[in-house]
Structure 1
Amino acid sequence: MNDKQTETSQNQELASERFNLVAKATHDVIWDWDLVKSTVWWNEGMQLIFGYDQDELEPGPDSWYNRIHPEDQERILKHIHDVIDHGGANWSDYYRFRRADGSYSHVQDRGYTIHQDGRPVRMVGSMQDVTAQILSQKARQESEERLGFALKSAQLGTWNYNPASNLVEVDELSSHFFGYQGKLSVTYQESLQSVHPDDRKRIQTAILSAIENKNDGSYSAQFRAIHKHNSSVRWLQSKGQAYFHSNGDLYRFSGIVQDISDQVANQEKAYFADQQATMTIEGTGAGSFLLDISTDEIIYSPTMAKILTGESSLALSRDVFLRHLHPTDIDIRDSAYRHAAESGELNYEARFIWNDGSIHWVKVIGRYLFDKNGKGVSLSGILFEITDRVQAEQKLRSSEEHLRSLIEQAPVATALFVGKDMVIEIPNKPMIKIWGKGDSVKGKPLAQAVPELVGQPFLDILDQVYRTGETYHAVGQPAELNMDGTLKTYYFDFTYKPLLNKDGQVYAIMDMAVDVTSQVMSGKELKKSEERYRQLADELEVRVKQRTNELHVANQELVNSNNNLQQFAYAASHDMQEPLRKIQSFSSRLQANYTEKLDENGVFMLNRMQDAARRMSEMIDDLLAYSRLTTTKGELTPVDLNLIVAEVISDLEIVIQEQNAQIEVGNLSEILGSSRQLIQLIQNLVSNALKYRKPDQSPFIKITSRKVEYEEVTSFSNVLKDNHYICLEIQDNGIGFDEKYLDRIFQMFQRLHGKGEFNGSGIGLALCKKVVQNHHGYITARSKPGTGSTFMVYLPQPA
């Protein structure tokens, strides 16, 4: 090997050593692609950055191809092969490369082609992960887009002053504000010429204060701008910030500008209105004040002290506003003063604590007077007590909340439409379900929220109700709605009720709707059925007439039969008494004369015969009483219930004493009735109370009456429409009964207990019911087993 070859070999070894050192030192992924052997070598960066071990990488270029993002693969392969095939030396590109965990990195890849004898034999390069830079750039771009959108939405223009070029760069909106006719760059002096002469010096002073870093470089001012071409004047609000190098030199002054002409005009209108109100309100007890800002001296009207403290005073300092301000409202006042420092207008409402501890709402309105340098000189204003108004507003809010609660909890579909556009304000869940659009309808005009209503009559009806203030009600109105994803016809009963404000004007409409689709469809089916059966009805009419005549004859025969049956029942019951008395008489004689001659079984049968005869006698007596009630048709006359009850107690005196019973009688009313029947009624009820007593407790019976309204008895049949009614209550402490048997106890021969427990015929309460029916009344009871019973008898009073 000659010296030249030796030197070449040494240089190659040195270059290889340097390459290896660079591959280890760099944070990039270094790769070496042998184009002849089609192999690729990767340094340790492939594992450190992308997570691939050397043994899992393919030996050839597939280790690179297969990990390029599918959307980038074709572009990258075409680009790198174009460079190689056309003898290019350098290749560079951006693409996405898959990590070992499956995610993708954004990479910048650069390669250098080595040629030998005019053909490419090798390419060496480095791959750098630039994901963080890409994402940061994207986030910055999105942030700038959002800022631009926000500025455009808020109608804010931007400006930037470059002190090096002495140029003010503006966006299109700022150019429009100043009347630059589309120019986006003007000199600093030219920009000042757009400021109104009366404001120009103040603005120059504010700008110099910012760019000389006298107030942390901040800038805020309101001024009038003169349009460069048509000389129109508009009020602008401008805010900015000056930026300085470390040595204090200004390198940028930028900010925003906003048109506040409408706001200033409204403030001026409000100010003049306030001034007029001041003169008016002073005469009605409002207070006024004037504050000298330089001396803190306050001049006030005599009534201001009383409004703030509750007492008149001739010596007040400025801190009277703070000393008596409610602690909770301090932030309200501070915020109002911060706003006033920018706008010049002071306006706030807050609570003040009087000397006696009471709390009162006060409204404060003021205006700053500035000198030519924009410095506040004085603050003048008025204040007046608004406690009544605030309380009224609180009541109104409470009323609105109550209305909202009523609508939300309404059992039928209900919604409130506000304004002429019928904005949906409070729809409840049933109404939202009918519309089938979800909560997205809230806050939208009805025509926009439920577009299928356009072309149907509802929107026109709502407009008519809003204009006339007249309630509209519809029954079975068809509506085309997309309730379940398909446009179908539904039917509703609904009401549009206009709501009026304090001035009597319609401000909203309440819609209440009931889905009656099923009823309407049923009605239609019924109508078809009626048509089908109409012919049958005509045919039946002839048969009905024939049947009516037959029924008339049968009814007459039934009346005659009932009369005969009643006479038979009375005669049978009366004629049965004679043989029954003989049975009782002979059985008594047998018991008296032959008891000793009978064995035990004979005595038992004789006693059973006497007991059966006794019960038969009682049943006949009750049947006779019931028969007489049925046939009694005498006129009802005024009856004093106190006398009736007294007579019944007298008749039952012996039984009452034997059972040691107590009877408490209240002051009873006069009723319309039959004395004889009422005695039977009350005697049966009192006897029942004595009969069904508890074995271990003396009976206690309470008899009272109360007047009832006619509405309480309207559901009863057979009542007298022109009469008031009373309720007679007979309460006992007996054994009681289960109310599920309430209907049964008033039926003939119905008993809840065996004959061995309590004697009786089972006719007593049926007799009571008949007496009450004869008096156009009603009888019922309430009871529980073991807790006694209360029988309630509704009887008419004299008209």
Structure 2
Amino acid sequence: MKDALQRLEDTEQRFRNLLKEAPVSTALLTGHDLIIEIANDASLHLWGKDESIIGKKLLEAMPEMEGQVVYKELLKVYATGITYEGKESAAYLKINNVMQPVFVNFIYKAIRDPEGNITGVLAMGYDVTEQVLARERIKEAEERARLAIESAGIGTFDFNFNTKYIVTSPRFDRIFGFDAPGKFEDYINVIHPDDQKIRGAAHLHAFESGTLFYEARIIFKDGSIHWVRINGKVFYVEHRPFRMLGTALDITEQKNSHKLLIESEARFRTLITETSMVAMGLYIGPDIRIQYVNDVMIRFWGKDESVIGKTFEDAIPELKGQHFLGELRKVYQTGEVYEGKEDLAQLRVDGRLQDFYFNYTYKALRNSEDKIYGIHHVAVDVTETVLAKKELMESEQNFRKLVMQAPVGICIVRDNPIVAEVLNDTFLKIVGKTRGEFETKSYWEVLVDEREVYEPIITHVFQTGASFIGKESEITLQRNGEREKVFIDFVCEPLRESNDSINRVMILAIEVTDKVVARKKVEESRDFLNAILESLPQMAWTTNAVGQTTYVNKQWLDYTGLPTGTGYWWSSIIHDKDLDNFLEKWKASVDKGLTFQQEVRYRKHSGEFRWHLAHAMPIMNAANRVTMWVGTCTDIHDRKLSLEGLEKKINERTRDLQRSNIELQQFAYVASHDLQEPLRKIATFTELLDSSLKEKDDKSRGYLNKIAASARRMLALIQGVLNFSQLSLGGDFFTTVDLNNILSDVKNDFELLITEKGARIYTEPLPAVQGIPLQLNQLFSNLLSNALKFSEPGQNPEIYITVSDLPLEEVHEYPALTVNLPYIRIEFRDNGIGFSQEYARQVFVIFQRLNDRQSYAGTGIGLALCKRIVLNHKGEIYAKSAPGEGASFYIILPKNLS
């Protein structure tokens, strides 16, 4: 009997020890008055009390509990015996004489005597205030991010790489031209075809770097083009891209005015699930054998009831190598309590090793002899709380990074007094201040000159919670040591706490000075242009970029008699026969941004149609895009009629001239052939006479030689005239000619004369050109013949043939050449007798000679032939020389006539 009582006392004592030493709040309340019989340290800490309250009534110890839900439920459990479980329930307790909210997860369970009568209530729970407040802070962070995004006009997207599913914000859809969310492919298809490669390259880079950035054009359903800037961040799971969060910003206006607006990016998500209830276990013996664990602990471990009876090490083998088993053994050996705070445990749950975080206690259990026989283990899963903290820290860090890196000026200020808490480099650049100034002074001590204008605005936002938007606000700032007048777009947005109070204001600022100045200049230029157009005697008009008329001058209105000239007026005043051609060419000019010019008949207010020269030029912006067209209509009616008559007469004269040229060529050809025949007979009969005379005196021989020489010279002259006329007739076809081959053939033809004179010819490699082979052969032959013929007596001829490209800037010096066509220049230079430079043009005139024929033979046709050949090849020839210093002949030929 005594042993039984002793065991009962031991059991009772162990029970009380378990309650008192539990790491969670545990209290035993007895009787109708709920007297505090047991309250462990965790309970006293939670309540903000000490052990002096034990033995007191609950309301006597904590009168503030009366009327609160947690107290009412306590009474209900005592009255009904029905267990009550509370999750994140709020209790307002006086701690350190201050009423404070406390959030707890708890269980009220009725305690009964052996007859089943309720004698008290066991209250167990733990503090989740930090978790609840963390969730509220996350909500506040998300709200700040949302406000920043909305204020900056940014759309957001969330893309899953595995499912190809995309979640977009309404603003994102509007930026891409959609009224409602679309599929992932829909957003890609509206990207301009020319920018698809940019998008593809940016996404490939994002897979490697983790960051997405690109700018591209979007084509709306109405065909309009809009610019968008995309930013994104890739999230990985096991080094594989899993998800991308990003933003889209419409930068069309900035692109058109060449002023980049600021992108803002923020999207933070966190997830905290409800914390599970308390897990408890009892382990016996030095081998830490599991005697009891509750369902919560089994669920934490991812096991079943088969673990009961096994050692801790065998039941949870994945904990080998982790510190838990070592700590259990140490507690069993030393009796020292071990408390873990947010410790990481890797447990195999649902077939895979997973990370969990726990608050837990290992406490030694002692028997009546004060010997350790086991360990009491109490644990609370705080995985979600730990992850929420990490998520919150990451979210706040990301938000700060977003603020610091944003190209939009961002400053967050708090009230009483107004101090800058967060500001990025862009904001500092706009206001012309340093970060150090804001760190040591209040906001208005730094921005002294701006206080008068902006302090009332920010104060109003603090007081009313109403946002303020300022457009193109003009302000003078001290920047870079100078006073600058600038224009700012800004937004003042209140940031609310969880209790809806306002203690911070976010200021977003964008400098738009360039845009405002540019617009004013455009307006001034347009007014100036209209004044000029009004002063013109011609009809004048302007259109927008797509060709719709925006302005006509008074002369246009007076001529047409129409009340207005805006819109599309072409069909109302253009002659029917000219309209289709006019519209076709006008559309082509507008589409390509090319100057427009067209002769067209316009109807006068009297009904008369008069010819006009319509001329329009595109006005480009800095991005080389057409912004407007300026056009004039010049009356050319009288000149048009006069030119048509003149053109008719010119055509008639041209036909007469062509007919005369043909007849002249035929005459020259026939005459040359008819003249050669009697000259051949003269030469023949002269030879016969010379041979038939038996006795010849010197005088007769001289006569005969003169007759023969005159006949030969006349034959050569006639042959030259015939060649010249054949060049005029043309008819040969152009082909690719290797000038090296031409020169080689010519040198072979003159091989005997070159040897007789001991001539030396120096040449460079020559190119191939488009030409007529026979004519080019004749050209080289005549030039080489001249160089050999007009050499100094007793001196060996030296001839240099070189080639070079004709510089483009020299082409305009030769009227016969075509500008921007590539040419080569070939030089024939000799050391002959030369000639005076004043005769450099005369040498190319037919039958012109500079030397007597007794000293130097020739007909005076060779260089004229060269001139005609070069002109046939769309080239030019000229000479440079001086008496006794040789002569240089320069041939300019196109590289490719096509």
TM-score, length basis structure 2:
0.29
TM-score, length basis structure 1:
0.32
